[in-house]
Chain A
């Protein structure tokens, strides 16, 4: 009896053991299949993030031993007028570059979606094309357009209207305008295509019904397209905001390696400290401030974009 019992127990335990080890094995296999990403992410993503938090409290030039300085790096950057200027510039350039861009992208998408348009493929391609260009090449071409010389393209054009030549790289609004223009030009097509994809998902019946009721094009956009596009708008506003807070290559090329006060952005400020001057401590402190700024802006975004849709619904009622 007892023997039988123990034999059975052994059998079950054996069964259990093999079942367990098989599960473990599956688990190991599963994890190993996804591990390359996580290992790389840990090495190149997670570690740098935490190291940069750590570094923000040290003074370090990359070669000599690190020196703990407490909050001094934050004190230094908060006392630097250029730091605040870089935040201001980032916000202003962001607004100038992205707000009109999203509106224009919406209108372009609406036009591209129109049944009246022929050769849709060509137009879609043409509008999307700037997005695949190299950002550095864009910045160089725009530097030539917005040249400081009187004979530069932008200045010549302004000359037709009797406007005095502008020192684009060094004037307060000229620099911001030129940088915002690059951001606008490069990203408008991307957002257009996203909106276009959203619009094609809107059932045509809605428009037909609206037309039957005598709705104008403006009313169609306002009451059908925009509410139906809400998730796409949230997405593009979100990515555009984060992108705008990280504008870097455009001012970097347009104004030279270290930038200038008129166009320096937070990321360029950070880059200059870290890779221009080897001030890794203050650069990390700047990165942390940027991290919190992005969180704040993203939450604000979420709040406001959520409201767009809601107010529509109230109106419809």
Chain B
């Protein structure tokens, strides 16, 4: 009896402490396995009846609008209830990593962002192979390159089903182009800037005539060039090919050259100045993915001069997520059934209309609601079409678990070049820094 009292006290104290642990504004919630999940500003949505047989949990980040979409599914499937937990991207991935590493506490479904997914690919035992759930039947609904990101190198283990993607384009400021005496209508700009040489010529003109830089920072330019390369930092056996492969070096050299020519500014990504400059017009182009539309609208709500054109020499992908089913789940089949429904083309169209998530299922591009989509903010341009064309251009390139390590060092190197360090010297330094990192 006494012992029982003690235990209760202990449990109670632990819970109080755990609930306070996240700071003043934390909300403690319970996932379907009864684990206490304390998170800052986690938004939890419960769908379905409380006595549903199957209780699914779903961890998400960002504004997806999926809970609203899923309300329909739960209505049609009364035996299923779904609990959504939405938090910011970094916390989401930290929580997921911890739960997978610890071997308990993971949800039945979890989103993984493109930059994180390769890090999980050597941990197949932590996930359900969705091919075993019959996912090959829906493979044809999705763009090949998007689907391949969700599989292992051999292509026989499927980690996740694609949600949205981030095909890259060239956002540009029509007023700056006009002031520089260049054509400013999207079709004209696309005709003008077809290659990187054209881009450089335009940059020179813009710089001469208006004094404005062509691109905000080295990162966006390098990203665009890098993603056009047929191979990146690692080969499919995950060996570093940075020294042997000419493509990445070429992208680095070209970017360094543009820095030296003064075409590139120093507005670091996500800094307040970078955002403010979207309104002020301190740079003429922004090479960025579809989801950047929302960022631009947020930073420059009254600006009327942003337009969209295709990237010179081909698009890449920047962003997007895959929904995985961690192997800790007891309801893999039900989770898969739900995902099959949620990420089907019809629902992807709705996600696009609701939240602007760009579809990874190409059949959506032909649906009239999508194909005729125009955006007043971008001068009434048919933006969906530009992005759809970009999406169809992308090709899958193997990245590897330590892709991010290498990329960070190269971007740091480009900043050093901006600060005046000779680019060849910096490249040698990048190589040695990369060796240092990946040997850990």
Interface of A with B (CB < 8 Å)? 32, 35-36, 39-40, 59, 61-64, 73, 76, 79-80, 82, 143-144, 147-149, 152, 167, 169-171, 256, 258, 260, 273, 275, 277-279, 281-282
Contact = CB atoms under 8 A, between A and B. Distances in A.
Given A39-B10, A143-B271, A144-B272, 14 more contacts: A36-B9, A36-B10, A36-B17, A40-B14, A63-B101, A79-B436, A143-B272, A147-B272, A148-B266, A149-B267, A152-B273, A170-B416, A258-B408, A277-B402
A148 B440 contact: no
Interface string B374-412: 000000000000000000000000000010110010001
Q: How large is the interface on B (under 10, 10 to 19, 20 to 34, 35 or more residues)?
A: 20 to 34
B6 interface: yes
A278 B266 contact: no
Interface stretch (B77-85, B119-127, B306-314, B361-369): B119-127
Contacts of B94: 275
Nearest to B272: A144
Contacts of A39: 10, 14
B196 interface: no
Contacts of A79: 436
Contacts of B340: none
A169 B273 contact: no
Contacts of B122: 63-64
Contact of A281 (B100, B123, B266, B440): B440
Contacts of B100: 63
A152 B277 CA distance: 13
A73 B440 CA distance: 7
A62 B101 contact: yes
A36 B14 CA distance: 7
Given A63-B100, A258-B408, A278 B119 contact: yes
Contact of B123 (A64, A76, A169): A64
A198 B101 CA distance: 49
B13 interface: yes
A29 to B, nearest CB: 9
A141 to B, nearest CB: 10
B440 A149 contact: no
A277 B439 CA distance: 12
A116 to B, nearest CB: 39
Interface string B108-128: 000000000001101100100
A158 B127 CA distance: 55
Nearest to A275: B94
Interface hub of A61, A143, A152, A169 (most chain B Cβ within 10 A): A61
B18 to A, nearest CB: 9
15 contacts: A36-B13, A39-B10, A40-B17, A63-B101, A63-B122, A73-B440, A76-B440, A82-B436, A144-B272, A147-B273, A148-B273, A149-B273, A167-B266, A258-B408, A277-B405
Nearest to A169: B268
Contacts of A149: 266-267, 273
B31 to A, nearest CB: 20
Interface in B419-440: 419, 433, 436-437, 439-440
B404 A277 contact: yes
B415 interface: yes
A229 B13 CA distance: 39
A140 B440 CA distance: 32
Return the 6 tightest CB-CB contacts between A and B, nearest first.
Answer: A63-B123, A279-B440, A36-B13, A62-B101, A282-B440, A149-B273
B97 interface: yes
Nearest to B269: A256
B3 to A, nearest CB: 10
Interface string B203-239: 0000000000000000000000000000000000000
Contacts of A277: 402, 404-405, 437, 440
A35 B10 CA distance: 8
A260 B94 CA distance: 22
Contacts of B412: 260
Contacts of B419: 167, 170-171
Contacts of A32: 6, 9
A76 B436 CA distance: 8
A172 B404 CA distance: 25
A133 B169 CA distance: 41
B404 A63 contact: no
A115 to B, nearest CB: 39
A37 B101 CA distance: 26
A172 to B, nearest CB: 10
A79 B273 CA distance: 37
Nearest to B274: A149
Nearest to B102: A62
Contacts of A80: 436
Contacts of A40: 14, 17
A80 B435 CA distance: 10
A260 B120 CA distance: 26
A139 to B, nearest CB: 13
Interface hub of A39, A82, A149 (most chain B Cβ within 10 A): A149
